[in-house]
Chains A and B, each alone.
Chain A
């Protein structure tokens, strides 16, 4: 597998605070990585390091390049949306297309125009007259028309309503993603992107506390709905977390063989958000 992002022991200090504290990441080609963490965990700092926007200590290669020293070359193959609000308010839609077409050798204008035609965005509108959802659509149209190898999305749907959020990821998956493209996305709304991810990374206090392909997640982690009489036995196996709802106890285990858990109750694969709470929530208490 072609490794697009290779990070080992990344450290980023802001004064005495360590935004990244030994962060590791390995992203293979053709994957969709979800980078998930609480506020201030270092998600944005990690992405900024990958994009050559900040200096760091440690080992980092993106598409085999040094992101700080070879930034311009990197930007030919990497696209990113940093936040919904970053398109300048004075820019017009057609000007945005003109600009990207002139400076980006891999931008295909027809593609962007084709996508915009499916939206309600007027072709010459100034960005300040567009709604937040439309601005994100426009940004997505620009990004999707670039034949990039790695797309980095930092909270791309922040502040959008649910219809736009759904449409955003559906478009990304159907019209953009293929075997040669790789997506790295951070978001708070884990449930909404769970179904599109191939890999998940949890980040907390500047470290990757979990990095797992979705298809093997169920082998390493499982959620046990313990029967009351087996609750103590289950607790003795060292669960990551325990939650009670409607009188049922749900315990999440890491690396405990399924055959030891199966007699104690009903087994299933935890959802990303439950796993996140188990893995990260525990350390925050």
Chain B
């Protein structure tokens, strides 16, 4: 119990030091919401004959499938921005995690307390793989709920029925399940990348970001020069974006019915969950190989923090 409390405190410590973990997604959520709010005010969304009327008429005229498709697109529209923010936050967090304490020499304070290097490094790994994605999911969900709330106000302004027009067709639970699954899959799939960043962070005496990137670029260029191949580059690229390939069924296109004008007519929202390919993920050899490599990098990072004597 005490060990769990202590580990939770290690995680809290990280959020104190790296405030971007909460601030960055909060700012994205705040800005998106503000923009929507501005649009709502601009379009006099709350008045009887304002934009709400178009919304009620538009959604009302749609087939139920098309309505679901529109709401799904509306709710997922903000997700890429959150994901991009998350990737940047994780990148900068991971290269700083084991570097900043050495730069400001506070490592001697942390090491004066009975916390193992194993627990410390694992807490930082846990932040990058679990906590930051979780925070991102929470802010995505919050933004989606706020979006629907604003749509509700508009619909009410035009005296429409918010439940049937907005809330029932919005596949919130499916989207959230997908989001959590995606974060778990991405954490497992990208673990070697994070492990590499942590290792660079534990290794570098200066410029950890450079240490994290340069060896890959140099290695990739050397390979290109020597063999004319791009194995290393493709490996890294696959770790960045390959999770979509491994963890989901490839029939995402068939979920959408697109008409001749390129408009999405329907999204089979009841089948969103069917996108999840857990067996595919768990049987991908790349996943397990990657985890092995990640374990190696993390072990090295722990060893460096434990035994390196920087005088």
Contacts and interface: CB of A to CB of B under 8 A. Distances in A.
A76 B10 CA distance: 17
Interface stretch (B103-111, B177-185, B189-197, B261-269): B103-111
Given A88-B101, A89-B104, A103-B113, A95 B16 contact: yes
Interface stretch (A20-28, A77-85, A158-166): A77-85
Interface in A40-84: 48, 51, 53-55, 71-73, 75-76, 79-83
A265 B190 CA distance: 81
A281 to B, nearest CB: 26
Interface stretch (B1-9, B28-36, B69-77): B1-9
A81 B111 CA distance: 10
A88 B307 contact: no
Contacts of A102: 5-6, 8-9
Contacts of A111: none
Given A55-B309, A75-B113, A75-B114, A92 B16 contact: yes
Contacts of A80: 108, 112
Interface string A100-132: 101111000000000000000000000000000
A103 B106 contact: no
Interface string B10-24: 101100110000000
B311 A81 contact: no
Interface string B92-108: 00000000010011111
A79 B311 contact: no
Contacts, number: 73
B106 A87 contact: yes
B164 interface: no
A72 B109 contact: no
Contacts of A98: 9, 12
B234 interface: no
A120 B113 CA distance: 25
B115 interface: yes
A53 B111 contact: yes
A76 B113 CA distance: 7
Given A14-B311, A55-B309, A86 B9 contact: no
Interface string A8-33: 00000010000000000000000000
A99 interface: yes
Return the 4 tightest CB-CB contacts between A and B, nearest first.
Answer: A102-B9, A88-B106, A82-B108, A75-B114
Interface of B: 2, 5-6, 8-10, 12-13, 16-17, 101, 104-109, 111-116, 307, 309, 311
10 contacts: A53-B309, A72-B114, A75-B114, A80-B108, A82-B112, A88-B104, A99-B9, A102-B8, A102-B9, A139-B109
Given A73-B114, A105-B114, 19 more contacts: A53-B309, A55-B307, A75-B111, A75-B112, A80-B108, A80-B112, A85-B105, A86-B106, A86-B108, A89-B104, A90-B16, A100-B113, A102-B6, A102-B8, A102-B9, A103-B9, A103-B10, A105-B2, A139-B109
